[in-house]
Amino acid sequence: MSLEQVAKRARVSTATVSRVLNGVDVVKNSTRARVMKAVSELKYHPNLHARSLAGGRSRTVGVIVSNLDNPFFLDVYRAVEADCHVRGYELVVANTHYRSEQLAASTRMMLGRRVAGLAVIVSEMDDNIIAELTESAIPIVFYDVGTPGGNITKIRVNYRKGMERVAEYLVALGHVDFAFIGHHAVLGPIDERFRALTDHIKAAAPKAKMRVIANADSLEGGRDAAAELLSSGSPPTAIICVNDIMAVGVMKEVRERGLRIPEDISITGFDNIQLSEFCYPALTTVHIPRDLIGHTVFASLVPDESGRTTEGREIVINPELVLRDSTGPAPRQPR
């Protein structure tokens, strides 16, 4: 089951078999046919480890994400996967479940695998890892952390702008009693979202009230956070969620408690995942173009046909408010 067996059977050298398999077209047709025959007779499958060891280069890109269950990450992954497929690259994913120990392990694994490029799209970023990857030779994409330049591309979503849109929209609707529901990964973007929100609300409606609840990044986490929020005192008139998946969980709990959306409570999400359009009521959210992020990741990691890369730059993504049915004017009188 090795090149040598195939070579022996086709009565050629291993070098020739290698050429046939790699499509180097200096091989005579009759020889090629003999080799192909031997390959299929032996059901030979080239050993990819040997191949990338000998070849040096790797045609594999790596992506590390925090939570594949969140469609946000999955969509980014999908876009990268599509590009990889087109250009004949392999893609390997690692899922950290927001655990920074797992992030370290995944990073080691990727480096050990000698990936051609690595995208790290996580919330639990660690300074040591940033430093180590920055010093490495391979193209790297960071999401919302690190310093662009050299081999480092930074993709930054302008969360501040997105959150400001949400805040200004809700304030315009007359809301003054807010709650923010987030998850435990408080670093980086999440934190930025929250700060942008409070800053803006404080400026636009100085008397507004703001509560904060955190739970897991999942449907259940959203539901549980809402349960905690709603069982203590009077409910807010607007709940701003850190992302759509949590918002859908929140809506479930709000409905179950007999509150109407948006008549009693307005709810917003973030990301504009597909589900946000399909849930009930359809969720007002902020669109983040995951496919653009994915394509940008690929373009930064792998040079295009003419050898160009976007490597080393900072790429800013601008979000957009999407109005749907989960938000409305603040209720006139306290319930």
Partner DNA sequence: TACTCCTCGTGATTCGTTTCAAACGCCTGA
Partner DNA sequence: TCAGGCGTTTGAAACGAATCACGAGGAGTA
Both structure tokens of 208: 């507004």
Report the distance separating Cα 196 and Cα 182, nearest Å. Answer: 14
Least distance to a copy of itself, CB of residue 98, Å: 14
Question: Residue 159, class by beta-carbon neighbours within 10 Å (0-12 exposed, 13-18 middle, 19+ buried)?
Answer: buried
Work out what residue 36 binds among a copy of itself, DNA, none; the CB cut-off runs from 5 to 8 Å by kind. none
Binding residue for DNA (CB under 7 A) from 8, 9, 21, 198?
21
Contact assessment for residue 323 and residue 164, using Cβ atoms and an 8 Å cutoff: no
> Which residues inside 48-67 make contact with a copy of itself, applying CB under 8 A?
48-53
Report the distance separating Cα 242 and Cα 273, nearest Å. Answer: 13
- CB closer to a copy of itself out of 236 and 249: 249
- CB closer to a copy of itself out of 134 and 198: 134
Q: Is 220 in the site for a copy of itself (CB under 8 A)?
A: yes
Report the distance separating Cα 223 and Cα 267, nearest Å. Answer: 13
Binding residue for DNA (CB under 7 A) from 8, 9, 23, 26?
26
Work out what residue 43 binds among a copy of itself, DNA, none; the CB cut-off runs from 5 to 8 Å by kind. a copy of itself
Both structure tokens of 226: 């809402």
Report the distance separating Cα 81 and Cα 237, nearest Å. Answer: 41
Q: How many residues does the chain have?
A: 335
Name the segment binding DNA (CB under 7 A); options: 39-47, 77-85, 99-107, 170-178.
Answer: 39-47
Dihedral (Cα; 62, 93, 183, 154), 10-degree rounding: 20
Report the distance separating Cα 47 and Cα 37, nearest Å. Answer: 18
Binding residue for a copy of itself (CB under 8 A) from 46, 150, 174, 188?
46
Least distance to DNA, CB of residue 126, Å: 23
Report the distance separating Cα 147 and Cα 193, nearest Å. Answer: 20
Binding map of DNA across residues 52-91, x = CB under 7 A, - = no contact: -xxxx-----------------------------------
The three-point CA angle 181-187-189 to 5° equals 70
Interacting residues toward DNA by CB under 7 A:
1-4, 11-16, 18-19, 21-22, 26-28, 30-31, 44-47, 50-51, 53-56
Interacting residues toward a copy of itself by CB under 8 A:
43, 45-53, 68-69, 71, 74, 77-78, 81, 90, 92-93, 95, 108-109, 111-114, 132, 135-136, 218-220, 223, 248-249, 251-252, 255, 274-275, 277-280
